[in-house]
Each structure stands twice: as structure tokens, then as C-alpha cells.
Structure 1
Amino acid sequence: MEYNFIAGGICAPKGFAAAGVHCGIRKNHEKYDLALIKADVRCAAAGVFTTNKVCGAPIKVDRAHLADGYAQAILVNSGNANTCAANGVALAEECCRLAGEALGIA
């Protein structure tokens, strides 16, 4: 498969911004482990999720948040699936709430 990279990357479309950081999820400090993509306005959004019977709480939260087909921000972690956390749904919802507040879209 050949990839065709677009100048400007994920921020090429007007009205989108993105950022990535290393926040301590991964042990390798040279790799980013948290990304945020934000649109200036709510827009059509969809997700492709696992079909496994066991899925992490963030997947359940994401499915619920995308149920109406719209979003304004996406927060993505890398290096921790949070699959079996007892309070995973509450933690995922809290991450969404905090991101929304920080972006002024909550």
C-alpha cells in the first residue's frame, strides 16, 4: 500500500487543529502518547471500533459520544487500552469532561 501524504497533515482542512504530547502513559519519553484533534465547530464524526466481546471502557464511552454522528474534539491515548479498569467508564468520561472544559466546548 502506498501512502499519499497531504501537506499540512491532519491540520490541512480549514478549522482543525491538533497537538500531541508525552504525558507519561508510555515509558519511552521520546514518543508521544496523547493526541488531541479539535474542530472549530461540531462536525460529522464516526468511529471504527473493535468487534471483540471484551472492549475497553473508552470504546463504550466513544460509541455513546458518537451516537448522534457529531463531535468537536477527539482525545486519543496510545500505550494503555484501559480494558479491564474497574472504574474505566468513569475515568474515560472524566477525561472527556476535562478536555471539553479545557477547550471551552463542554
Structure 2
Amino acid sequence: MQNRESGGVTAARGFRAGGVHCGIRKNAGKPDLAMVACSAPCAAAAVYTSNKVKGAPLAVTRENLKDGRAQAVICNSGNANTCTADGPAKARRMCEAAGRALGI
């Protein structure tokens, strides 16, 4: 994770961000996972799709933002887990893995 104070998503004190290719997408030349994290829980909000078909990660995000606070945001590309029986479990595992990696 990088700290950049000159602007962008890490301009605010305590924020850091990073992106990698972790194998979600087949093209190894393109990043497929990004994370933005804060040194402490902070106010957080989300805007959700109005589409009738919503991916499991959106339901998990709603659960995690019930109190309006978060310490990290995970963005992945290539795997929405939409309309899959195991989508919610995979989304929760992604959150748990991020929490372990960040020590939160």
C-alpha cells in the first residue's frame, strides 16, 4: 500500500491505497484488486444500483455499512458474484481476508 500526500484518494491524512493483480481476472497484465484503507474507522456511505439484479457484494456492503463507518474499501474487477449461490460467502471471505491483511 502506498501513501501519497500530493492528491488523489490518499490525500487525506491516514489514508493509503494499493492495487494488484491477484488472479481474479485472467489477464495477468491488468490489476484486478484495489483497496483503500484508513488508519482508523471513519464515516462512510455508499450509493447502490437501482437494478433489480444486484451482486452479492452489494448486500455484504450494506451489512458492513449499517453503522455508517468503515476502515477499508475493496474493489475487484472480473468477478461480481451476481446470481451465484456462493456469492455472499465469497464476498464475506474477501472482507475477512482484507481485514486480516490490514490487521483490522
Runs (5+) with no aligned partner, structure 1: 1-5
Cα distance in 2 for residues equivalent to 1:78 and 1:98: 17
Q: What secondary structure does 2:58 align onto?
A: helix
Does 2:22 align with 1:23?
A: yes
Alignment match, 1:54: 53
Distance 1:24 1:101 in 2: 19
Residues of 2 paired with 1:29 and 1:102: CA distance? Answer: 22
Shift of 1:28: 2.2
Alignment: residue pair count:
100
Distance 1:30 1:49 in 2: 29
Q: Please, what is the CA RMSD of the aligned residues?
A: 1.4
Residue aligning to 2:67: 68
Distance 1:101 1:27 in 2: 25
Q: Deviations over 1:32-84 (max 9, x none)?
A: 11001110010000111111111111110001111111000111101221102
The CA distance in 2 between the partners of 1:90 and 1:79, in whole Å, is 17
Deviation of 1:94 after TM superposition, in Å, equals 1.2
Is 1:32 the counterpart of 2:37 in the alignment? no
Q: Say which is worse superposed, 85-94 or 24-33, in terms of deviation.
A: 24-33
CA shift, 1:16, in A, is 0.2
Identity of matched residues, %: 58
User: Normalising by structure 2, what TM-score?
Assistant: 0.88
Which amino acid counterpart does residue 28 of structure 2 have in structure 1?
H
